Structure 1
Amino acid sequence: MKGINFNTLDKLPLISHTDLQNLFAFKNNQPITCLDFLSDVYFLAELLPKSKYIINLCEDRYKFSVLFSAALLCNRITLLPNNNSSQSLQQLQSEFTDSIIWRDNQIPDLIHQHDVNSNPLTIPSINKDQLVVILYTSGSTGKPIPWKKYWGELVQHSQLTAKALGLNLQEKLQIVTTVATQHMYGLEHAILLPMQMGYIINNLKPFFAGDLITIPSPVNYKTILFSTPLHLKLFAENSNRYPTLRLLVSATAHLTTELATSLEKKFKAILIEIYGCTEAGCIATRQTTQTNHWLLLSNYQLEQVVNNYYLLTPSLNTKKLNRIKLADHLQIIDSQHFILQGRRAENINIAGKRMSLADLNIKLNSIPGIEDGIFYCPTNKEETKRLMALVVAPTLSTSDIRKALRQMIDPVFLPRPLIKLNKLPRNDTGKLPVEAVNSILKEYTEVVENY
């Protein structure tokens, strides 16, 4: 894959497509060319208010990409909250007072006919140092934290990610995702990857694997699905028909080898798992059915300082490396490979016995009849740890679940209490924000205190 020499350019193109008549997207089964897309971008740019910040809440990925690009052209900064609750949006607007919210229904029907002869359009270039977006961590380990992203950094990272996934520039691919574009995983792969690699954005969001069969694909184009373990588990359990994919990609949580093996057989495609975070985006990849070793992206390095691990990534403007502290424990194998050993905050020590919440969650969700579940470890006033569990298991009693867990784990790790719910409050990437879990526990305060 031929890449851009980022050190010699001050500006980088908005999209990498080589011909304005090339397909850019499929919107509700309607093909959209690059010329259509740019016409819409310039049209919407004229409508943007003078506010410095644009809160882009569009769920339609085509409208999201048009608004995102129009903001780029006008040097406006896109804000992407970790959720769109009223409280979160009010807090965001109180912090960024010069901001305005845009949703799908606020954007007019697009696809404007453009007179190429009277006013030829060209692909715009953006300063690589331009601040493009501020987005937030998921809040699964505490208060959501904002991170700034610059255009050159995002373009470079898109190409590194494509290389790690074995994809080629201008390959005939369409991108389908089940995740929201307001999260780093969705922004990177549903929007930036196709824009920077010349692929097609598809705005449809499949819920079942069978839905993928109805998504149109242009002649000679293949489909890549970016999803999460939560969605992929639904695909595996609730569908009988599976399309053949070019590639299947999972991120945001641990994927079991058993589920990965099942999915590769059903979709007749390799499944690649991504390890990443909001701070850095995609960091490493692995084919889950073949290895538990993660492979770092090109030119990325790891550094261990006592029990802390840091990611070192190349900087666009200096010879210095960017240094990002990781939230996980790692076992470094060599300069490019490591084994993920779980989050530092998730390592539990009870009565001198150790286990990680990640391992406990894998065992919990392997019990037949459990549709979803997590272990959770709050602390009481004496700071002694006790485990709780939230589960979705319509056909099982709490006694059934505890009996199954006793066969798998030491009794000191049995959850007390074990709370059954109709649904866990996961966000669009399948993660559980701490605030949402604490809200559930407040509703069960009496149950918790009686244990």
Structure 2
Amino acid sequence: MPQLPLFIGDGSRPIAWRDGRVVSLGDFRRDVAAIAAALPRGESVVNLCDDRYYFLAAYAAALSAKRTSLLPPSRVEQVVCEVERANPGTCRVDDARVESILRGDAQDGAVEHTLSGDFTAMIGYTSGSTGQPKANAKRWRAVHGTNACNAAAARRALRIADADPAWIVATVPPQHMYGTELSVLLPLIGGMAVHSGRPLFVADIAAALEELPSPRVLVSTPIHLRAIVESGQPFPAASLVISATAPLSQSLACAVETRLRAPLLEMFGSTETCVIATRRTALEQAWHAYEGISLTPQGETTLVEAPWFAEAVVLQDAIELDGSERFIVRGRHSDMIEVAGKRASLSDLTQRVLAIDGVQDAVVFQPETREAKSIVRVAALVVAPTLSAREILEALAVSVDPAFVPRPLVLVDSLPRNELGKLPRSALTDLLKRSH
């Protein structure tokens, strides 16, 4: 298996923005060498860093030391312990540990510049929104393959040359595969640079963007983008907005483009496949598959193949091909429900609830039942301070078949979204039980 680079560019190119200044690749490599020298012996590293620069440096240090990075779906202690038990010989790295290493008398050490394409660079975990989180190993060859596609897509949207830098602000955690791809790998092997923070509130996101030179890329999620659109706060222009983790409506995409004065590129993929397609959601419904991606519809699933995959991956989404590289997503198998011979999509039902004036947030889902022959039903949790449940149900009755009108529909103060804006199924079930 050929060796592939661990870093892209010369020592002078920017890789990060931290504490109001540019961090060069040369300075970054020195930090990586210090962290790699301080890692205890072991097979893998659980990277719990919240500071994005520390995460990036610890991630590169693990690679240089030939350790696999473990990216838990949550930093809750029980979840981290479960990941450690499944991967013996693991050490933890967090912000305090990295800061201690870099502030101390760092050991002089060499840093690797290449890595075998066959090396397992990281193990990511699904979010748990459709069940229990599952581990997914990524070889360095696969990491390089998907990163090249992501970098090319971003630069096309920015209309800049392959070697030109771009500056990233991300609201998503680096431990999630989307966050890793767009805010860790693009700086490391995509020739871009990233802000060290992870701003969550609108004012903080605006301040982080304002700090950076152009072109500026905001990597975010629908939940954060909606907050930006609905806030009355002044907001700097971006050069590009990238969104993933949940479906983005065309109306919200248009509003984001107007608010941030930049095109919005939505990305499609999964933890199993990484990003495989993009679309300009404000202008189109169809997705454009990356060059090299092969999609084969198989009823309610899709077989995905790519030259950088170790093997074909089954995606739990039904698609309809529209030419050789375009496709439309028709729904996810777990998203489809059937009642009395009729079928409906839970995500479509959710969008219909969200479209009602006065609804701030909502989710429609199918509660678990222990009775094998029980009637299929759907429930809804809705945040709508100015509406009653009856008013929402009456509005839904205009466009939703009676078989799929949510019962119960429960009004709540907020939904149990995680740091990605996703809704773990277990959290929804618990909230419904407590509220109904």
Length-normalised TM-score, structure 2: 0.92
CA distance in 2, matches of 1:383, 1:77: 45
Q: Pick from 365, 384, 397: which aligns with 2:375?
A: 384
Deviations 1:165-194, CA, capped at 9 Å, x for gaps: 316433231111110111110000010012
CA distance in 2, matches of 1:232, 1:98: 40
CA distance in 2, matches of 1:132, 1:409: 46
Tell me how far 1:442 sits from its aligned partner.
3.7
Q: Give matches, 1:2-21, under 5 Å.
A: 10-18=2-10, 20-21=11-12
Q: Which residue of the partner structure matches residue 5 of structure 1? A: none
CA distance in 1, matches of 2:193, 2:389: 47
Q: Is the 8 A contact 1:79 1:133 kept in 2?
A: yes
Tell me how far 1:207 sits from its aligned partner.
2.9
Q: Is the 8 A contact 2:300 2:332 kept in 1?
A: no
Q: Pick from 155, 169, 184: which aligns with 1:191?
A: 184
Tell me how far 1:203 sits from its aligned partner.
1.3
- Which SS does the other structure have where 2:386 is aligned? coil
Q: Which residue of the partner structure matches residue 416 of structure 2? A: 425
Q: Pick from 235, 238, 242: which aligns with 1:242?
A: 235
Question: 1:80 corresponds to which letter in structure 2?
Answer: L
Q: Give matches, 1:139-288, under 5 Å.
A: 139-165=128-154, 166=156, 168-215=161-208, 221-288=214-281
- Which SS does the other structure have where 2:347 is aligned? helix
Residue 408 (1) aligns with residue 432 (2): no
Tell me how far 1:122 sits from its aligned partner.
7.3
Deviations 1:326-347, CA, capped at 9 Å, x for gaps: 1111111122111011111211
Q: Is the 8 A contact 1:56 1:64 kept in 2?
A: yes
Q: Which residue of the partner structure matches residue 132 of structure 1? A: 121
CA distance in 2, matches of 1:123, 1:50: 17
Q: Pick from 47, 64, 86: which aligns with 1:56?
A: 47
Length-normalised TM-score, structure 1: 0.89
Tell me how far 1:109 sits from its aligned partner.
5.3
Tell me how far 1:141 sits from its aligned partner.
1.2
CA distance in 1, matches of 2:225, 2:332: 23
CA distance in 2, matches of 1:212, 1:143: 31
Tell me how far 1:217 sits from its aligned partner.
6.3
Residue 344 (1) aligns with residue 337 (2): no
CA change 1:38–1:394 in 2 (3 A) is same
Q: Give matches, 1:47-126, under 5 Å.
A: 47-108=38-99, 124-126=113-115
Q: Pick from 420, 436, 441: which aligns with 2:432?
A: 441
CA change 1:111–1:24 in 2 (3 A) is farther
Tell me how far 1:58 sits from its aligned partner.
0.7
CA distance in 1, matches of 2:204, 2:82: 37
Q: Pick from 23, 26, 39: which aligns with 2:14?
A: 23
Q: Is the 8 A contact 2:317 2:330 kept in 1?
A: yes
Question: 1:363 corresponds to which letter in structure 2?
Answer: R
CA change 1:353–1:202 in 2 (3 A) is same
Question: 2:3 corresponds to which letter in structure 1?
Answer: K
- Which SS does the other structure have where 1:226 is aligned? strand
Question: 1:11 corresponds to which letter in structure 2?
Answer: Q
Q: Give matches, 1:302-313, under 5 Å.
A: 302-313=295-306
Tell me how far 1:287 sits from its aligned partner.
0.4
Tell me how far 1:209 sits from its aligned partner.
4.3
For structure 2, the residue ranges without an aligned partner over 5 or more in a row are: none
CA change 1:307–1:416 in 2 (3 A) is closer
Deviations 1:111-159, CA, capped at 9 Å, x for gaps: 67999xxx89777112221111111111111111101011121112111
- Which SS does the other structure have where 1:311 is aligned? strand
Deviations 1:71-112, CA, capped at 9 Å, x for gaps: 111111111111122221222222223212222122225767
The RMSD of aligned alpha carbons is 2.3
Q: Which residue of the partner structure matches residue 299 of structure 1? A: 292
Identify the range of structure 1 (328-337 vs 121-130) with the bigger mean alpha-carbon deviation. Answer: 121-130
Q: Which residue of the partner structure matches residue 321 of structure 2? A: 332
Question: 1:404 corresponds to which letter in structure 2?
Answer: A
CA distance in 2, matches of 1:217, 1:417: 45
CA distance in 2, matches of 1:91, 1:169: 41
Tell me how far 1:437 sits from its aligned partner.
1.8
CA distance in 1, matches of 2:349, 2:364: 7
Deviations 1:9-40, CA, capped at 9 Å, x for gaps: 8222222123x122221113232111211111
CA change 1:301–1:199 in 2 (3 A) is same
For structure 1, the residue ranges without an aligned partner over 5 or more in a row are: 1-8
Tell me how far 1:63 sits from its aligned partner.
0.2
CA distance in 1, matches of 2:101, 2:376: 55
- Which SS does the other structure have where 1:322 is aligned? coil
Deviations 1:212-252, CA, capped at 9 Å, x for gaps: 44226688631101111111101100143222211111111
Residue 356 (1) aligns with residue 345 (2): yes
CA distance in 1, matches of 2:186, 2:165: 13
- Which SS does the other structure have where 1:427 is aligned? coil
CA distance in 1, matches of 2:413, 2:209: 34
Question: 1:24 corresponds to which letter in structure 2?
Answer: I
Tell me how far 1:208 sits from its aligned partner.
4.2
Identify the range of structure 1 (204-213 vs 26-35) with the bigger mean alpha-carbon deviation. Answer: 204-213
Question: 2:420 corresponds to which letter in structure 1?
Answer: T
- Identity, in percent, stands at 33
CA change 1:85–1:216 in 2 (3 A) is closer
Q: How many residues align?
A: 429
Tell me how far 1:52 sits from its aligned partner.
1.6
Q: Which residue of the partner structure matches residue 4 of structure 1? A: none
CA distance in 1, matches of 2:354, 2:103: 49
